[in-house]
Amino acid sequence: MTQSAEMRKQGRNDQLLDAVASSKRPSPPNAFNSSVTFASRALLRIKHIPEQLFDVTVFPIIFLLMFTYLFGGAIAGSTSDYLQFLLPGILVMTVAQITMYTGIDLNNDIRKGIFDRFRTLPIWLPSALIGSLLVDAVRYTMASSIMIILGLILGFRPDGGFIGILGSVALLLIFCFSLSWVWTTLGLIMRSEKSLMMVSMTVLFPLTFVSNVFVDPETLPSWLQGFVDINPISLLVAAVRGLMHGGVTGAQVGWVLLASLIFIVIFAPMTMYLYRNKK
């Protein structure tokens, strides 16, 4: 009886194995599909928590109105004249500061344990990061569009026309995409969201305020001009200003692209190494 029971059990196991193995195992998704899936996940998160869009909708409006009407008269003698100088700079500053939320979202996934689940999936490993960065590019575009439209309503008149505006936004997106890799690296290193935000703001505040965003660097002390001239934010602002007002040079665009490439070459491999090996 025991041998017979074992034979029946073995027969059921064989039937179960045949049933499971009879169908072809689905092939793993390719890099594009998995990246789009993670991008959809990020969009769904925004759908259910729309307050996340405050930084790309409300903050750009507050920044532009506040700096134009608080400092325009004091710095340029005219809010209208200052707006022509300020808007490209404040656009860069606002979108650059938004980039730090890429690392914050990643840090939250790590703390909640979702990060470890993603690493066990049979997918192209960078897709979890690439998908989030693609959605961030959409957020950057929203912030840029809102600020440019508001600027046009307030009296901003770009001499470079529509083509200049498109070129400046494209260059801004390239730079901010590359800058986001810095925060993904820090998001994997920092142990809490607050510490990551503190470090991000410590880096971003000097870069954005000690730059050519608000004033012409020629009005600054000579020792400070040296830092402003090599500041990546200043390089981007100069190129965006040139594109919008029709006076851009190839060197200005080239320096921004070079800075973006350096960020990606250094921090993208570092992010992926930490992503694979983080305990």
Spatial CB neighbours of 230, under 8 Å, sequence gap ≥ 6: none
Tell me if 19 is assigned to some domain: no
The predicted-structure confidence for 55-83, as pLDDT tens digits, reads as follows: 778 888 888 888 888 888 777 778 888 89
Residue 1: per-residue pLDDT: 47
pTM of the complete model: 0.83
DSSP letters for 150-170: HHHHHT---TTHHHHHHHHHH
Tell me if 143 is assigned to some domain: yes
Q: Which domain holds residue 101?
A: 30-277
Split at pLDDT 50, 70, 90, the class of 2 is low
Tell me if 20 is assigned to some domain: no
The predicted-structure confidence for 14-38, as pLDDT tens digits, reads as follows: 665 565 555 566 666 677 788 888 8
The predicted-structure confidence for 192-242, as pLDDT tens digits, reads as follows: 888 888 898 899 988 988 899 988 888 888 888 889 999 999 999 999 999
Number of domains in the chain: 1
Tell me if 1 is assigned to some domain: no
Residue 157: per-residue pLDDT: 92
Q: Which of 1-10, 80-89, 109-118 has the highest mean pLDDT?
A: 80-89
Task: Quickly tell me which residue has 């179960």 as its tokens.
Answer: 16
The predicted-structure confidence for 242-259, as pLDDT tens digits, reads as follows: 999 988 999 999 999 999
Tell me if 213 is assigned to some domain: yes
Tell me if 209 is assigned to some domain: yes
Q: How far is Cα 183 from Cα 199, in angstroms, rounded to an integer?
A: 10
Q: How far is Cα 164 from Cα 158, in angstroms, rounded to an integer?
A: 8
| Cβ neighbour number for residue 23 with a 10 Å cutoff | 7
Q: How far is Cα 190 from Cα 213, in angstroms, rounded to an integer?
A: 29
Paired tokens of 80: 């209208």
Tell me if 158 is assigned to some domain: yes
The predicted-structure confidence for 170-186, as pLDDT tens digits, reads as follows: 999 999 999 999 998 99
Tell me if 259 is assigned to some domain: yes
